Amino acid sequence: MWKPSERLMETIRHYASFPATGVSLRQMVQFGDRPSTGTLFRASQFLSEELPIRLAHRVQDLGELPDGLSDMPSIKKVQDWYAQSFEEIITLSRPSLTQEVKSRLLRPGRMNGGGSKILSEVTHNPSVREGQYRSSPNSINGNGNGKAAAAAGRRYFVPADDHADWPPELNDYNQRFAKTLQQIKRRHDSVVTTVAQGILEWKRVRQRMQIDSTIQSFLDRFYMSRIGIRMLIGQHIALTEQTHVKHPNYVGIICTKTNVRDIALEAIENARFVCEDYYGLFEAPKVQLVCKEDLNFMYVPGHLSHMLFETLKNSLRAVVEQHGADRDQFPVTKVIVAEGKEDITIKVSDEGGGIPRSAIPLVWTYMYTTVEQTPNLDPDFDKSDFKAPMAGFGYGLPISRLYARYFGGDLKLISMEGYGTDVYLHLNRLSSSSEPLQ
């Protein structure tokens, strides 16, 4: 098994002293549907610094957990994955370029989309407290050593000067870089399950019933960072592919015309299917969707599907358990989509009996579930995330809220105990807010 050397750990400590640089959805989409080799190379260069910084923070964070959590075998395993991925990026050999190409790379090119200042400006993410998900728990004021200022000068999207052809070494590097990212993405597929496994190990060894606020905020920071890393990696792999295959309406994994109705219908169908399967129902409770047919906005379809699927599964479960699986008719769950100037808001209303007010704070904690027997954690059952099971890991709501907040949205829950629950999913349509990572 791979183990990090002491020298590697030293390099990791050095990288972890730099703060992460947030990227906004707007910036990610500026690449257009056909980025040039030069522009992609500049982005690869940004990522070849930014990803190691983010990975290094995670290695450190995983090693400094309280109450013996860092010593759990599954946590150590995940820490090694982060260190190994860090090493793979920093040791990837760079192309040797002529002076002429180097200086051309440094010259700013023209924005291909007539890019305005508004597009590149980043605003504060409205649903996140300042520093709530900062890259490390103790870098409160950036040590005053100018590292934050140095990092602020780096950007993900910089248009390159494309007036002439680029040497083949550039494209070759882009391809190798994308391949390395692919390998890393695959390695980290089962991070969520493995960390959850680590927490279970710790609960068992330490006889803990619940996780405290230090571990809760570690997990929030950790999973938020994971969403960001996977977003950048997924985006970059897709952009590299897009240099030779065209996908209309897509810039990387961002769909500029994400159709809310289509995604909601699919999530409803999937959640009902899982519900029928889990409770052995002939027909799952019905879900009514109120949404304009042509409601499109710029978003990552995979994120929206995830959030809707998780909230719908919760509602269907509550409805079935409140009214009894032997019923042949259930109250209808309503999904209402509203289009505002700032937000698109999706409300999921069920008549599943609600949640007692005292339990509301708990629903946002990881591993909180009212399912009696947590299903077995099989790290391979679904490579990408907790998706397959009906319920029982207590990850559905907290992770969905992170996805919402990642692009400046939010997820809120209001319950009427004895009647039902309303979940509000706010999605920011302007998306100029930066990733909540600094």
Site residues, Mg ion (CB under 5 A) = 314, 391, 396
- In this structure, what is the dihedral angle of CA atoms 35, 36, 41, 44, given to the nearest 10 degrees? 10
| Shortest spacing between CB 139 and Mg ion, in angstroms | 33
| Shortest spacing between CB 369 and Mg ion, in angstroms | 7
DSSP letter (8 states) at residue 357: G
Tell me the backbone φ, ψ of residue 242, rounded to 5 degrees: -70, -10
Instruction: Select from ligand ADP, Mg ion, none the partner in contact with residue 4, using the beta carbon and a kind-dependent cut-off of 5 to 8 Å.
Output: none
Restricting to residues 294-313, name those near ligand ADP by CB under 6 A. 310
Distance CA 122, CA 25 (A): 10
| Shortest spacing between CB 405 and ligand ADP, in angstroms | 15
Active centre residues (catalytic) = 306, 310, 313-314
Question: Coil, helix or strand for 8?
Answer: helix
| Shortest spacing between CB 222 and ligand ADP, in angstroms | 16
- Choice between 52 and 392, CB closer to ligand ADP: 392
Does position 315 interact with ligand ADP (CB under 6 A)? The reply is: yes
Alpha-carbon dihedral sign for residues 294, 299, 305, 310: negative
Report which residue type is found at 390. M
Q: Contacting ligand ADP (CB under 6 A), which of 71, 111, 370, 387?
A: 370
Does position 421 interact with ligand ADP (CB under 6 A)? The reply is: yes
Query: Structure tokens of 152?
Result: 């602020």
Q: ∠ at Cα 356 (351, 359), nearest 5°? A: 120
Distance CA 1, CA 128 (A): 39
- Choice between 29 and 275, CB closer to ligand ADP: 275
Residue whose Cβ sits closest to ligand ADP: 396
Q: Contacting ligand ADP (CB under 6 A), which of 318, 411, 425, 427?
A: 318
Q: Contacting ligand ADP (CB under 6 A), which of 371, 377, 414, 430?
A: 371
Stretch of residues binding ligand ADP (CB under 6 A), selected from 72-80, 91-99, 192-200, 367-375:
367-375
Does position 231 interact with ligand ADP (CB under 6 A)? The reply is: no
- Choice between 338 and 377, CB closer to Mg ion: 377
Does position 391 interact with ligand ADP (CB under 6 A)? The reply is: yes
Does position 436 interact with ligand ADP (CB under 6 A)? The reply is: no
Does position 192 interact with ligand ADP (CB under 6 A)? The reply is: no
Bridge-based pairing of strands 420-428 and 410-416 is antiparallel
From residue 41, alpha-carbon distances to 26, 93, 132, 245, 252 in Å are 19, 14, 32, 18, 15
Stretch of residues binding ligand ADP (CB under 6 A), selected from 7-15, 195-203, 250-258, 395-403:
395-403
Binding mask 326-365 for ligand ADP (x = CB under 6 A): ------------------------x-x--x-------x--
| Shortest spacing between CB 54 and ligand ADP, in angstroms | 25
Reduce the secondary structure of 311-335 to three states and give it as a string. HHHHHHHHHHHHHCCCCCCCCCEEE
| Shortest spacing between CB 336 and ligand ADP, in angstroms | 15
- Choice between 80 and 321, CB closer to Mg ion: 321
Q: Contacting ligand ADP (CB under 6 A), which of 177, 368, 403, 407?
A: 368
- Choice between 12 and 348, CB closer to Mg ion: 348
Q: Contacting ligand ADP (CB under 6 A), which of 22, 159, 228, 396?
A: 396
Bridge-based pairing of strands 287-290 and 333-339 is parallel
- Choice between 19 and 398, CB closer to ligand ADP: 398
Give me Rg for the CA atoms of the chain.
Answer: 23
Report which residue type is found at 135. S
- Choice between 72 and 275, CB closer to Mg ion: 275
The residues, ordered by sequence, that sit 6+ positions from 310 with a Cβ below 8 Å of its Cβ are: 396, 397, 399, 400
H-only helix segments in 375-432: 396-406
Reduce the secondary structure of 101-131 to three states and give it as a string. HHHHHHCECCCCCCCCHHHHCCECCCCCCCC
Q: What's the residue count for the chain? A: 438
Number of residues that bind ligand ADP (CB under 6 A): 20
Sheet holding 333-339, edge to edge: 287-290, 333-339, 343-350, 420-428, 410-416
| Shortest spacing between CB 419 and Mg ion, in angstroms | 19
Query: Structure tokens of 304?
Result: 């929206």
| Shortest spacing between CB 277 and Mg ion, in angstroms | 15
- Choice between 75 and 275, CB closer to Mg ion: 275
Query: Which residues in this chain contact ligand ADP in the complex, by CB under 6 A?
Result: 310, 314-315, 318, 350, 352, 355, 363, 368-371, 391-397, 421
